[in-house]
Chains A and B, each alone.
Chain A
Amino acid sequence: MAEQYPILVLLVLLFGALLVGLSGMADRRVCFPLTVTALGLAVAVSIGILQRVMDGGVIRYFVGGWSRPVGIGIELRIDTINALVLLTVTTVGLLTAIFSFRRVRDDKTEKTPLFYVLYLLLIMGLSGMVITGDAFNLYVLLEVSSLTSYALIAMGKSKRAATAAFSYIIMGTIGASFYLLGVGYLYLRTGTLNMMEIHQAILALDGPSSTIVVAFVLIIVGLMIKMAFFPLFGWLPNAYSYCPSSTSCVVAPLMTKVGVYVMVRMMLTVFGTEWVFSNLQYTQWLVGMAVVAILAGSVMALAQVELKKMFCYLIVAEVGYMVGGAWMANHWGMVGTIYHIMGDAFMTLCMFLAAGIFLKQAGVVRIDQLDGMFRKMPWTMAGFVVGALAMIGIPPTCGFFSKLYLIRGGMESGHWFYVGALLISSLVNAVLFFRIFEIAYFGKNPAEGHAAHHEEPSVQPVIKEAHPSSLIPLYLTAAIILLLGLFNGQIVELIEHSLNGVQVIGTEILVEKGGQG
């Protein structure tokens, strides 16, 4: 059975969705246990995959057994990078599913089965994107995940959810279509859709080919729309902040990260970094764009009054981190990017879980409504603080180490502006989150002198602490953030294992290049 793990991840989720759909119509109560079971199994299988990849190297799974010649069938290809991202995706899915328990029950009674079907299929689509080794299959799964996320966002109760979803559909379709077009250009020149085969074909090409270059630009631009890279991020804040909490908790951490992952995969496996960094002269520009993205995201986050909106702009900045890291043509930049994909997924999850709890228990939308939260909801705040520290980059959370690697990459490749932007963004994050802490700690209007506080306020706050089904995922996320930080050495080792295995990043060449730039 173990060799079937790659497909099992998807099948478990797909069957979960089908069962929820078929039996949920009859009895809504089975939806939640079925969903959690399916996701739990998926997490277990992902762990199994990771184990296998660590033991036995790259897994190649040929669906339908069509292995020869390579490319006639669809290949699932898992190295350590995929395995780690896959585990991230399924884990985030599981945590949010647990979190959604009360929310969905209260919000959308008659649509509960539909919600869970879409939810499971979203996770399935994202997992499929992560493990596939076929460029076109990736498009299909991209659409699976996009369509489900459109629907989940449009299900929001807010009036503006629909408009946000509509602009998301338009932008998302443009992005996906660009990707499809790019794959078409690639196919025209290479005649195959299998990622490794495309890579071989590109290596075999004699002389530069403008088709490949255009294909690359199309694919990257398409993905950048999907991951909300700087000038193309307009759809994100509205889409992520007007949707239901349980949706934003899964969409916000995963969609952009998987987009980044696909970009990395394209750079590593499909085009190959040697081609990317030696054929294209504008990689420096992209790092520059990333710098702008980081700064712009941070500044706009500062200007927000709504909690979720602020997190959304932080996502924009974080995407800038990762794009810059990937494009700086440095081993450590790439390592940092991949590590940050995982770290940021959980950090964002932590933020949105906390925001969801605040919204539900206390109706908090704006930041200034958080006053006195340390007293009213100490347990939730405790989890939130861990996530916030990770966003700022305080050791030993994972946020610190991804910054460490990214900055190391920036220093080695001589991208000093990027290093500066990263540090400024950390400071801005510090300001943002300590502003929140301050409000939550002091309240909106603290007393003038300290004598006034010596008597405890006798008015009991009506706000109740969150239900365990909300707190457990929050704490698990916080724990994962810490664990990712503490065990980052091992994780980076795994990532490097794949980077060397694919043999794509020649650090020596790249360092030399970076020195010039």
Chain B
Amino acid sequence: MKWIGLIAVIFTGGLLLSAMDDFPNWGDAHSPANSSPVSQYYIEQTMTDSGVPNMVTAVLADYRGYDTMFETVVVLIAGIAIMAILRVAKQVPGGAKPTPAHEVGDQHDIIIGTTCRLLIPVLQLFALYVIAHGHHSPGGGFQGGVILGASFILAAIAKGLDPALQRLPEKRYVKLAFVGVVIYVSFGVACLILGENFLDYGVLHELLPTMSAEEARSHSMLGVEIGVAFTVSMIMFAIYANLASKGELEGGL
């Protein structure tokens, strides 16, 4: 096996490197990729089209919003898949645990507990900032969502999985994860209903008379980012909760 692997890897590496001399130079602004009309268009027209300075956000949520929708679906699938594979029916799905058996403070350090109590709200606030400010700075639904999810994970690590699950029971996080995708898709479908192509946010300005097409694009991007954040944060927590407890959703690390 090792030899086969080595040969395969060397072959692959050789193949990959064999094209190296055909590559454009490092950092060449006029390489085909960098000077193509597509990338030029993004840089030049993002402001005109939607007024979002962060081109990555604009491309992510608007020009290639279709990809991002499926990316969100991928995240959702990951969560569902892990539940489908790992979840064992020790409790009724979604039902809260009837007996909060052990006290939080028992096994967990008080310093960690206190720090987390201070840290988690800040973390969550920061997550919301990242989501909301994705138009102007690095960030957006994914990053913010992951941070939000991380705050729940932090709570689960610090206090144990059970208290965290009491606040955010399985049924709720699964539902919210679905809701996230629903939010995303409904923006697209709204465009569809108003007679334009799927995810053509510009047409949404018809809904609010005070809004221009560009604003509509900008705001819709925020909307879909919020949807993404819902799904991502909930699924990240779901992945952690299932993996940490072997799918029993009890005890945890």
Contact = CB atoms under 8 A, between A and B. Distances in A.
Interface of A: 4, 7, 11, 14-15, 18, 21-22, 25, 61-66, 69, 71-74, 110-111, 114-115, 117-118, 121, 124-125, 128, 134, 136-137, 140-141, 143-144, 147-148, 150-152, 154-155, 162, 165, 181, 185, 187-193, 201, 209-211, 213-215, 217-218
Nearest to A14: B185
B171 A25 contact: yes
B42 A72 contact: yes
B24 A188 contact: yes
A121 B84 CA distance: 14
B39 A115 contact: no
Enumerate the 7 nearest inter-chain pairs by beta-carbon distance, A residue then B residue, closest first: A191-B36, A151-B81, A65-B200, A214-B19, A191-B32, A63-B66, A114-B84
Given A63-B197, A191-B39, A144 B74 contact: yes
Given A21-B80, A63-B66, A191-B33, A121 B197 contact: no
B158 to A, nearest CB: 29
B32 A201 contact: yes
Contact of A22 (B41, B65, B81, B178): B178
Given A25-B94, A110-B93, A72 B197 contact: no
Contact of B201 (A64, A147, A185, A214): A64
A445 to B, nearest CB: 42
A438 B78 CA distance: 45
B81 A118 contact: yes
Contacts of B185: 11, 14-15, 18
A148 B19 CA distance: 34
Contact of A189 (B16, B32, B38, B182): B32
Given A18-B185, A118-B81, A214-B16, A140 B197 contact: no
User: Which of B77, B82, B192: most chain A Cβ within 10 A?
Assistant: B77
Interface residues of B, number: 60
B109 to A, nearest CB: 36
B38 A192 contact: yes
Interface in B107-152: none
Contact of A187 (B18, B33, B192): B33
Given A25-B93, A190-B32, A214-B15, A72 B38 contact: yes
A210 B33 contact: no
Contacts of A110: 89, 93
Given A121-B77, A155-B85, A61 B37 contact: no
Given A18-B182, A209-B22, A115 B84 contact: yes
B19 A137 contact: no
Contacts of A61: 197
> Among A121, A128, A162, which residue has the most Cβ atoms of chain B within 10 A?
A121
A11 B198 contact: yes
Q: Is the interface of A mostly helix, strand, loop or mixed?
A: helix
Nearest to B34: A191
Given A21-B178, A110-B93, A188-B24, A72 B198 contact: no
Interface in B73-95: 73-74, 76-78, 80-85, 87, 89, 93-94
A140 B70 contact: yes
Given A117-B80, A218-B15, A111 B87 contact: yes
A64 B37 contact: no
B94 A148 contact: no
29 contacts: A4-B192, A4-B198, A11-B185, A18-B185, A21-B80, A21-B174, A25-B171, A62-B197, A63-B198, A63-B199, A71-B37, A73-B66, A118-B77, A121-B73, A137-B67, A140-B71, A144-B74, A151-B81, A152-B84, A155-B84, A165-B85, A188-B24, A191-B33, A191-B36, A191-B38, A193-B38, A210-B18, A210-B19, A211-B23
B230 to A, nearest CB: 13
Contacts of B188: 11
A217 B93 CA distance: 47
B196 interface: yes
Interface in B172-191: 174-175, 178-179, 181-182, 185, 188-189
Contacts of B65: 63-64
B106 interface: no
Contact of A111 (B66, B84, B192): B84
A188 B182 CA distance: 35
A265 to B, nearest CB: 18
Contact of A137 (B37, B70, B179): B70
A187 B81 CA distance: 32
B229 to A, nearest CB: 17
Given A64-B197, A211-B19, A140 B85 contact: no
Contacts of B71: 140
A74 B74 contact: no
Contacts of B76: 121
Contacts of B83: 111, 114
B62 interface: yes
B38 A69 contact: yes
B35 interface: yes
Contacts of B73: 14, 121, 124, 144
A45 to B, nearest CB: 13
